[in-house]
Amino acid sequence: LQALKRKPDLFLCSNLDVKAVFQCGVLSLKFPEAPTVKASCGFFTELLPRCGEIAPVGQVVHENGKALLQAVLEGIGGQASRSLMDHFAEILFVLNKHCFSLLSVW
């Protein structure tokens, strides 16, 4: 998360598998440990606003965003601790703000 904040063009590295990083983040949202879920939520709140400016991120969000939305809704629906709801809500807010057309399709 800190690396993404300081160097967002990290996702432009040719040898970085953005899809794998994204999928790991989605899986981490389902972990039972609150600090892991909180960190994953922070990752997505930093990543999603860049989907328009960094093409590899935009492509991965376009192709895999539905899985992210599903994981967030499952967490809100009871899979995650109630103390994490604000973090999941932040992802929904960022999706709505930066990926609205995709969000309405998903």
Q: What is the DSSP string of 38-99?
A: HHHHHHHHHHGGGTTTSHHHHHHHHHHHHHHHHHHHHIIIIIS-GGGHHHHHHHHHHHHHHS
pLDDT given at position 29: 96
Q: Is 23 exposed, middle or buried (0-12, 13-18, 19+ CB in 10 A)?
A: middle
Answer whether residue 71 shows pLDDT above 70: yes
Whether residue 2 has pLDDT greater than 60: no
Asked whether the predicted pLDDT for residue 79 surpasses 80, the reply is yes
Average pLDDT of the chain is 88
Q: Could you tell me the pLDDT band of residue 27, with boundaries at 50, 70 and 90?
A: very high
In the structure, what pLDDT confidence band is assigned to residue 51 with cuts at 50, 70 and 90?
confident
Q: Tell me the three state secondary structure of residue 35.
A: helix
- Section 35-61 average pLDDT: 91
Q: Is residue 26 within 8 Å of 75, Cβ to Cβ?
A: no
pTM for this entry = 0.86
